[in-house]
Structure formats: C-alpha cells, structure tokens
Structure 1
Amino acid sequence: MEGLRDHYNTKTNRFRNYRRPFGSARDQYWKQVTKVRDYGSSQMEYLQDNYAKNLGKLRSYSVAQLERFRQH
C-alpha cells in the first residue's frame, strides 16, 4: 500500500511540475483575450453612439431637404 501511495504521489507531482511552466502562458493568454474583448465592446459602444448621432443628423437633414423641395 505504501508503494502505491508513493507511486501516486510521484505521478501527481510530475504532472503538477509539468503544468507549472505553462501557467503563466495561460494567464497571459487569458489577459490578452480579456483585453481584446474589452476593446471590442468599447469599440461597439462607440460605433453605436456614432450611428445614433449620424442617424439624427440625417433625419434632420432629410426634413430640411424636404422642406426646401416643397417650397420650390
């Protein structure tokens, strides 16, 4: 039983030691993914704001043009 426990402990320690160097790379990857996601969502908000502003400008411009056409 003691030998089995030692064998299991060495296997788990090897697995932990194998994964350890990749932990920082994994963290860096997820940090980059989070940055890209945040940037994408901020860009989407910016585009939506611009769309709303430009749509309002277009509507007011179209109304002004329609008034001009009616006068002539």
Structure 2
Amino acid sequence: MRELSKVTVVKRGEPNPVFILSGYNVTSISTSENRVYYLAEDSTGHPITGVYDLVTQENKVLQDSGRFTEIHAMN
C-alpha cells in the first residue's frame, strides 16, 4: 500500500512545480473544472480539506471536521 504525502502541480514548460500540500497523509484527490480538491490528515489525524484553483493558483485550505465529512461523503 502506498500513501501520498504531498500534492504537486507541474505545468509544462515551467521549471518549478507548485506544492499545494506537503507533509500530510493525502487520502483523496480529485479534479473538476480547473480545480484540484484534496482530503488529507495531519500527523495527529486532524482532517484537512482544500481546493486549489489551477487558473488563479489560489489554494484554500479548510480545517473543519464537519466540512471534511461532507466532502469525503461526496467522493
């Protein structure tokens, strides 16, 4: 079993990748309409959810357990 520990965006022609999330146990990643959605947990098991916009390069991290459950249920 492999675990993901980071989420990275690599754009063709650009030398430096964008690290969206690093140092977490990434449990789920999905993409939809130029957005990357991710679910993860920190080293203490606290849930982390977020969305990264590929167009604006904005990364919005949510650390709300209730929201985590709602997003996880949608996957």
TM-score interval w.r.t. the shorter chain? under 0.3
Q: What TM-score results when the alignment is normalised by the length of structure 1? A: 0.17
Q: What TM-score results when the alignment is normalised by the length of structure 2? A: 0.16
Bigger helix fraction? 1
The structure whose RCO (Cα within 8 Å, separation 6+) is larger is: 2
Bigger strand fraction? 2
Higher radius of gyration, 1 or 2? 1
